[in-house]
Amino acid sequence: MRSISSPARLVAIGAALLTALVGTIGIAPAQAAPPAPSLNGLKVLITNDDSARGLDAGFGTDGKGLYELRKAFCAAGADVLVVAPWSQQSGAAARIASPGFAPVPLTVQAVTPPAAYTSDCAGSSTGGAVFGVCMTAGPCASGVPSASPADTVNIALSRFAKNYWPEGPDVVLSGINFGQNVGATLNHSGTVGAAVTAREYGVPAFAFSAEVPRNLAQIPFVPFAQTAAFATDLVLKTIKSKQLKPGLVLNANYPFVDTAAGEKLGKTVTTVAGTSNDIGFDFTGSVPATGGTYLLNPGVPPAETRKKADTTALAANNIPVTPLDGDWTLPNQGGLLTALLAIFG
């Protein structure tokens, strides 16, 4: 997955975006704003990294967020098509299939939405069609290797979506992910990797994630529906502010707010990606120089060191929206580029 820009550059981008999307965060404009644009006719391609099948009806780990996003955008009048991985692909980053010396089969197979979501998109020209993508020449089935989130965007934007929209979609939405994607984990997120892949095609993209509560008893209450409502509002206001442009990639994370404990939802803020990983990785076990097995466990996340970080905002129950540039190029910070050119030039 591509890296983010420098913090200073993204703070500047975020400040401009904050001004453009002033209505999104509840700051009153100086004068009455025109009516919000409708999503009627907006062509929306949805993908995720939690799979297209929505098999986990309890916790929602297998695509419930995708179906809540599909439901919200169809209700807002958008024309929705879903092309997503056949099975769970968390942590896939922007991994793509490579043909090497032989073609790689990628099968796009229709998926029947879970019963609770079957009629959500009856008014859409696509019917809200849902497809899963697997890496086999035969039918997708249990145990068959899944395509990655980036694969699904590649195949949808280059070929498959043209069956529905000859000119392609207006926007790509990735998510809603089961769990937050903030800080250093952005580099490994399949949700973000799919959005960055859309940028390579010149299609604006959003990555949406819903925070998982720390208390395991509250996991069934991951805020998918609230995140979906926020997503439609953010896209509407992005259109209204004329910011829905090629190259736009926004990563948004909706907090889990424990109202029983007196917590309240904060505000929407523009941020940069933090240095903490928000999860923490702890390897246990003693392995000799000849090799052996370590156990990877959840650990304590490192302290955040970056100002205006998404990790800090999410911890305060704000909704961090982070602009990403999807480009590995390092700006000439501190003359590094000039120094390297002098060495190798």
172-193 tens-digit pLDDT: 999 999 999 999 989 899 999 9
Domain holding 85, by residue range, is 7-276+304-344
Lowest mean pLDDT across 194-198, 213-217, 218-222: 213-217
- CATH number of the domain within which 195 lies: 3.40.1210.10
At 23-34, the pLDDT tens digits run 444 433 334 444
Tell me if 148 sits within 8 A of 96, measured CB to CB: yes
Give the number of domains in the chain. 1
Asked whether residue 264 is assigned to any structural domain, the reply reads yes
Cα–Cα distances in angstroms (integers) from residue 211 to residues 215, 252, 268, in the given order: 12, 11, 15
At 291-331, the pLDDT tens digits run 999 999 888 888 999 999 999 999 999 999 999 988 877 77
Does residue 216 have a pLDDT over 90? no
* 37 three-state secondary structure: coil
Asked whether residue 287 is assigned to any structural domain, the reply reads no
3-state helix, strand, coil in the chain (%, to 5): 30, 15, 50
Asked whether residue 15 is assigned to any structural domain, the reply reads yes
Q: Please name which of 235, 236, 175, 233 lies closest in space to residue 209, comparing C-alpha atoms.
A: 175
Asked whether residue 77 is assigned to any structural domain, the reply reads yes
Q: How far apart are CA 87 and CA 252, in angstroms?
A: 23
Tell me the Ramachandran region of residue 61: left when phi exceeds 0, alpha when psi lies from -120 to 50, beta otherwise: alpha
Lowest mean pLDDT across 2-6, 47-51, 308-312: 2-6
At 221-234, the pLDDT tens digits run 999 999 999 999 99
Average pLDDT over residues 242-259: 95
At 118-140, the pLDDT tens digits run 999 998 899 999 999 999 998 99
Query: Where does 97-248 have alpha helices with state H?
Result: 149-158, 190-200, 224-240
Task: Report the chain's mean pLDDT, rounded to a whole number.
Answer: 87
Asked whether residue 2 is assigned to any structural domain, the reply reads no
pLDDT value at residue 21 = 58
User: Which of 44-69 are b and which e, b meaning 16 or more Cβ less than 10 Å from the residue's Cβ?
Assistant: bbbbbbbbbbbebeeebbbbbbbbbb
Does residue 16 have a pLDDT over 60? no
Q: How confident is the model at residue 196 (pLDDT cuts 50, 70, 90)?
A: very high
Asked whether residue 338 is assigned to any structural domain, the reply reads yes
Q: How far apart are CA 252 and CA 321, in angstroms?
A: 4
> In which element (H, E) is residue 169 found?
none
Asked whether residue 59 is assigned to any structural domain, the reply reads yes
Tokens for 51? Answer: 């799979």
Asked whether residue 228 is assigned to any structural domain, the reply reads yes
pTM: 0.87
User: What is the CA 322 to chain-centroid distance, rounded?
Assistant: 11
